[in-house]
């Protein structure tokens, strides 16, 4: 079984795209899904936003936005309301990840 399924489906827009930084040995969010081809895994478009570009080109003309840069990785819990909405809360839990 392929652990890294590449297909997307309707409603996946806004889902994160992760990249692994082998030097820092951690996963980073590199973009969010903008468009996709359901279940094919090909032609999926991701919106990438670089922090410096955002501050220099968007932030100066838009509402105040702050990038959160935590000193360590946090653990978050997402609770769905089963209607397209939900809540994200930070927890004190620790996660262990198996390397692949």
No. of helices (H) and no. of strands (E), the chain: 1, 5
Place of tokens 């997307």: 8
| Domain map (residue ranges) of the chain | 16-91
How many CA atoms lie less than 13 Å away from 58 in the CB half-sphere? 10
Choosing from 9, 13, 40, 77, the catalytic residue is: 13
Residue 13 a catalytic site member: yes
The pLDDT value given to residue 1: 47
Measure the CA–CA gap between 57 and 61, rounded to whole angstroms: 7
Per-residue pLDDT tens over the stretch 48-88 = 666 676 667 666 666 655 666 655 556 667 777 887 777 77
Q: Rounded to 5 degrees, what are φ and ψ at 20?
A: -105, 125
Q: What is the DSSP string of 61-76?
A: GSS-------SS--EE
Per-residue pLDDT tens over the stretch 2-59 = 555 556 777 777 777 777 888 888 887 777 777 766 666 566 666 666 667 666 766 6
Q: pTM for this one?
A: 0.37
């Amino acid at each position: 079984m392929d652990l890294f399924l590449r297909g997307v489906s309707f409603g996946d827009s806004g889902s994160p795209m992760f990249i692994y930084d082998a030097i820092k040995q951690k996963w980073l969010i590199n973009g969010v899904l903008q468009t996709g081809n359901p279940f094919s895994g090909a032609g999926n478009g991701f919106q990438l936003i670089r922090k410096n570009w955002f501050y220099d080109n968007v932030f100066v003309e838009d509402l105040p936005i702050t990038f959160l840069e935590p000193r360590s990785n946090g653990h978050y819990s997402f609770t769905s309301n089963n209607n397209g909405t939900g809540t994200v809360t930070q927890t004190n839990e620790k996660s262990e990840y198996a390397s692949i």
